[in-house]
Amino acid sequence: MDVIEVWSGRYACLLQSALRLTNEGFANRLGIAVRTVATWHSDPSVVPRVEMQQLLDSAHEKAPDAARQRFALLVAKERGEVPESGAPTAQALRVAISVVLRQNDVLLVCRRDDDASGITWQFPAGVIKPGAKPETATVRETLDETGVHCAVRRSFGNRLHPVTGVLCEYFLCEYLAGEATNSDTIENVDVMWVPRNSVTRFIDADTIFPPVLAALEEQT
């Protein structure tokens, strides 16, 4: 499903989630007031006026392919759509997330978005290619993004991300070698080590996978 005939507040919010934008970032993307976006969240059934429908159409059409795929998955889930029996299904997007510890420090990356309000701090992460082992992807993506060599210590488990709907595989990793550098300037703004007891100053505790948060709070 790649076309929305009539946008509602709910579909607009799903597009915002697919684009990974804050309320302010989404409002800036559309050129509207932040309070309008807040209204969509408070009343998902509202149908925006014609001019707003066109702005949402344009934002969807100009979205990166990955964001459009995320949006399609979110809409399909919202509608409860399931493929017919025996029909081929697309493999869910899987992402490996590395929680790399170096003594009492944790490795974080600052993600770049189309506007400054969308910049966020996160753990190093990368897409798990079909057929690849999550542990291998974790080590490879961390090195590619940050220049840091690490080894997987254990798995924290997985979850469907509450915002993006992407299947996330979380791993506790041990630092081995390398200087933390921003090796992916297209995706990231910065890379740095932060004290493990200060991570929630950079990442909202409510969005951190609970087993990860518990591990960070151990022996701090």
Residue 85, in any domain of the structure: no
On whether both 72 and 107 belong to a single domain, the answer is no
Show pLDDT as tens, one digit a residue, over the chain (220 residues). 456 888 988 899 999 998 998 888 899 999 998 888 888 888 788 888 888 999 999 999 888 888 888 888 888 877 665 444 444 344 457 889 999 999 999 999 988 764 444 568 889 988 888 788 899 999 999 999 899 999 999 999 988 877 666 788 999 999 999 999 988 877 788 899 999 989 999 988 888 889 999 888 875 5
- CA atoms of 171 and 158, how far apart (whole Å): 9
Total domains in the fold of the chain:
2
> Within this chain, do residues 155 and 201 fall inside the same structural domain, yes or no?
yes
Q: Which residues pair with 102 in a beta bridge?
A: 105
For residue 2, being part of any structural domain is answered with: no
How does 71-87 read in b/e, with b if 16+ C-beta sit within 10 Å? bbbbbeeeeeeeeeeee
Q: Which residues contact 84 (CB under 8 A, 6 or more apart)?
A: none
Do residue 73 and residue 175 come from a single domain?
Answer: no
Q: Are residues 115 and 161 in the same domain?
A: yes
Is residue 214 classed as helix, strand or coil in its secondary structure? helix
CATH number of the domain to which 179 belongs: 3.90.79.10
Tell me which residue range forms the domain holding 44.
9-79
What token pair was written down for 25? 């970032």
Look up the pTM and report it: 0.58
Does the residue 89 lie in any domain? no
